Amino acid sequence: MVKQWWVRRYAAARAKAEAGMATAEYAMGTIAACGFAAVLYKVVTSGTVSGALQSVIGRALDAQF
């Protein structure tokens, strides 16, 4: 009986200790996603990539069917 009480108490304490962990993980994931989006935006809007994308789109629109 005492052992069951300790097991329940330990499980409850552990769940309470990790309650805020999900929020921290979401915050880190959001920061990482924003950083990745910023880098991707810079790459896509650079002159080299922009020119390549325009070339590909131009060739696709001028394709003969």
Identify the residue with better confidence: 65 or 56. 56
**Residue 10: inside a domain, yes or no?**
no
Give the domain range for residue 35: 23-64
DSSP state letter for 62:
T
pLDDT number for residue 40: 93
pLDDT in tens, 5-64: 767 777 777 766 666 667 888 899 999 999 999 999 998 889 888 899 899 999 999 877
Residues 30-51 as b/e (b if ≥16 CB within 10 A, e otherwise) read eeeeeeeeeeeeeeeeeeeeee
Give me the number of domains the chain comprises.
1
**Residue 11: inside a domain, yes or no?**
no
pLDDT number for residue 36: 97
**Residue 2: inside a domain, yes or no?**
no
**Residue 7: inside a domain, yes or no?**
no
Q: Is residue 49 a contact partner of residue 43, using CB atoms and an 8 Å limit?
A: yes
